[in-house]
Amino acid sequence: MFSKKITTWGTGALLGLGLAMGSVGVQAQTGNCEYLVTNDWNSGLTGAIRISNTGDSAIDGWSVSWEYDNNQVTNAWNTQLSGSNPYTASDMGWNGTIQPGQSVEFGFQVNKNGGEAEAPEVTGDVCAGGTSSSAPASSSSSVATSSEASSAVSSSLASSSVPSGGEQCDWYGTLYPLCQTTESGWGWESNESCVARSTCESQPAPYGVVNGGSSASSSVSSSVSSSQSSVQSSASSESSAQSSASSSSAPSDDLTFESLRNLAEFPVGVAVPAGNETNSILDDDPTGEGQREIITQHFGQITAGNIMKMSYLHNQRGNFTFGNADALVDWALSNNIGVHGHALVWHSEYQVPDWMNNFQGTEEEWVEALREHVIGVASHFAGRVDSWDVVNEAFVDEGYRTDSIFYENMGERYIEEAFIAANEADPDADLYYNDFSMENGQPKFDNAMAMARDFVERDIPIDGIGFQFHVFVDWPSTSAMREVFSEVVDLGLKVKITELDIPVNNPYSDNYSYPDNYISEYTDEAAQAQKERYCSIVEAYLDEVPPELRGGVTVWGVFDSDSWLIEQTFDNNHDEWPLLFNDNFEPKPPAQGVGDALMGLPCQ
């Protein structure tokens, strides 16, 4: 099986080392700066600059510059970039402090403009000081992988000054400490998550900087409970405006446990709307607030339902728009929630950007364009996502899906190229092949497994199979699910349920006929059937997949009426109540069903 020990850094080239003497303010800066090429292809490369503190006092803020003869930076991450050759990159606040012996890195993508990869000298006060003999021997190994690099960053920030009482940040109803040294975004200071003043001030009224209580932690917990009660009241006023959707749902205190995520050793996840989408979880309204309460209480991982798809992140070649996804990922991480990336490559027309749909080129040029996309996105989020759906929906029952722009131009090769590129860009993320209608086994599942077996044999980096699980109460059988799970396990790959939802009707069953014969009310009977079904799916997962191969279980949506199924499977004709929470943001019987399975209780 593929070994994740092969890291980008291990195979990447160290191209340059800039050393100069200097100082920032009164504090001597003793660091060195390395220019690294982390991936190199015909027309471009991704690079990183690593700044290591080789002195014995903390570096507090940094800024470095470099200049190319011919190369050109097209985007950068984990830094504020200014200028266009020479370029100047400075810290984001949260990564400004570098403790002695530690390093920070930021990344960028480069267009080679028809030339070679260049090796520019990196200059700046922070690159001053250290002679090569003073550089700690551990500095390169301490940043051998991107996740190690980010843990070095957070530990380096942990000893920054404590936010003092008085002012705090009201972030959508929850109080957080205001960062003292972080200038923008979220930070981590004094072992606490904090919000930079500028970021906090940019929140709409009534949020923003407020006068908090005596200590940060006591005001955080009191604000959480007061915001919870405000969610209940604002949600119930909203519910009267929203039809009958949730009338027969269980109230929240009916659950026999506090939190779904705490019942599992693996990620219990949920798909969320964000960015400019309707019902974005970051909106400052009752719907945003209600969802955030549910997510932070019950889920340990999120998937962006849409905004990390290709057209959202890469709408013009080489021009990535990460702002909305960054805001979502930052929110998740600052709330101790992981992120599953969805999806690097998906043929679905609405989300393949025009530049790619209209791209004319040879197979090699297509591969290059695909790699640019996968590497640009995966390296941007490296160290911040747990896993990726690398390729989504590449098979049909007859074999490879041929109505895909990727298949049309690269044949089946595009799938392995995407996995190879994703692994180069983020060697630590788990990489999944994801598809629907594999839960019932053959023949689509067999096609995907033949590919997975081939990948394993040839060391193409794949970590797991993602089963979407858009299933029904009566389809497919749990025994079929058990069989497919165990086949993946036998191959040594992880199993992830990536998009679980269960409507009360099955539009493909013989009995269903809208509007004459269908379940039109969320009756106790419908809720009970759904509860047992959710429970028995999670039970099958736990029975068949050993702990080390459990990639997690994700539900596709937070609250019932926001489910994609209503519009896309049921033509917006009626409610289906397919999720775990109702429109009042209260848990429903299926939430108890999932909890029962996680607690090892019978499904009933």
**Looking at 393, 487, 544, 586, which residue is catalytic?**
393
Contacts of ligand XIL in 75-104 (CB under 6 A): none
Contacts of ligand XIL in 367-426 (CB under 6 A): 392
Do 390 and 375 contact (CB within 8 A), yes or no? no
Considering the complex, what minimum distance in angstroms separates the CB of residue 206 from ligand XIL?
A: 30
The tokens 């939430």 sit on which residue? 591
Considering the complex, what minimum distance in angstroms separates the CB of residue 271 from ligand XIL?
A: 7
State which residue, 439 or 532, has the beta carbon closest to ligand XIL. Answer: 439
Cα(155)–Cα(591) distance, integer angstroms: 36
Cα(274)–Cα(288) distance, integer angstroms: 9
Cα(295)–Cα(300) distance, integer angstroms: 8
State which residue, 403 or 516, has the beta carbon closest to ligand XIL. Answer: 403
State which residue, 160 or 554, has the beta carbon closest to ligand XIL. Answer: 554
Considering the complex, what minimum distance in angstroms separates the CB of residue 210 from ligand XIL?
A: 35
Q: Is 499 known to be catalytic?
A: yes
CA distances from 238 to 172, 285, 604 (A): 18, 11, 32
Assess 564 for contact with ligand XIL (CB under 6 A).
yes
Binding mask 487-516 for ligand XIL (x = CB under 6 A): ------------x-----------------
Cα(375)–Cα(78) distance, integer angstroms: 15
- Taking CB atoms, the residue at the shortest distance from ligand XIL is 564
Considering the complex, what minimum distance in angstroms separates the CB of residue 389 from ligand XIL?
A: 7
* Residue 36, helix vs strand vs coil: strand
Considering the complex, what minimum distance in angstroms separates the CB of residue 472 from ligand XIL?
A: 15
Contacts of ligand XIL in 428-457 (CB under 6 A): 436
State which residue, 146 or 306, has the beta carbon closest to ligand XIL. Answer: 306
Size, binding site for ligand XIL by CB under 6 A: 7
The tokens 């050993």 sit on which residue? 546
Q: Give 360's contacts (C-beta < 8 A, 6+ positions apart).
A: none
DSSP codes, 264-299: -SS-EEEEE--TTSTT-TTSSSHHHHHHHHHHHHH-
Angle at 159 (CA atoms; ends 174, 428), nearest 5 degrees = 80
Considering the complex, what minimum distance in angstroms separates the CB of residue 557 from ligand XIL?
A: 7
Considering the complex, what minimum distance in angstroms separates the CB of residue 136 from ligand XIL?
A: 45
State which residue, 150 or 306, has the beta carbon closest to ligand XIL. Answer: 306
* β partners of residue 465: 433, 495
- CB burial of 418-442 (b: ≥16 within 10 Å; e: otherwise) equals bbbbbbbbbbbbbbbbbbbbbbebe
User: Which of 8, 52, 279, 306 is in the footprint of ligand XIL by CB under 6 A?
Assistant: 306
Binding mask 185-224 for ligand XIL (x = CB under 6 A): ----------------------------------------
State which residue, 130 or 464, has the beta carbon closest to ligand XIL. Answer: 464
Contacts of ligand XIL in 154-173 (CB under 6 A): none
Considering the complex, what minimum distance in angstroms separates the CB of residue 556 from ligand XIL?
A: 6
State which residue, 157 or 304, has the beta carbon closest to ligand XIL. Answer: 304
State which residue, 544 or 562, has the beta carbon closest to ligand XIL. Answer: 562
Do 342 and 309 contact (CB within 8 A), yes or no? yes
**Looking at 417, 499, 539, 576, which residue is catalytic?**
499
User: Which of 219, 311, 447, 468 is in the footprint of ligand XIL by CB under 6 A?
Assistant: 468
Q: Is 393 known to be catalytic?
A: yes
Angle at 91 (CA atoms; ends 90, 97), nearest 5 degrees = 135
Q: Count Cβ atoms within 10 A of the Cβ of residue 276 and give its class: 0-12 exposed, 13-18 middle, 19 or more buried.
A: exposed
Q: Helices (DSSP H) in 458-602: which residue ranges?
A: 478-490, 524-544, 564-568, 589-598
State which residue, 305 or 427, has the beta carbon closest to ligand XIL. Answer: 305
Work out the number of other CB atoms within 10 angstroms of the CB of residue 567.
10
Considering the complex, what minimum distance in angstroms separates the CB of residue 349 from ligand XIL?
A: 11
DSSP category for residue 250: P
Residue 203 — φ and ψ, nearest 5°? -75, 145
* Residue 444, helix vs strand vs coil: helix
Catalytic residues: 393, 499
**Contacting residues toward ligand XIL, per CB under 6 A:** 305-306, 392, 436, 468, 499, 564
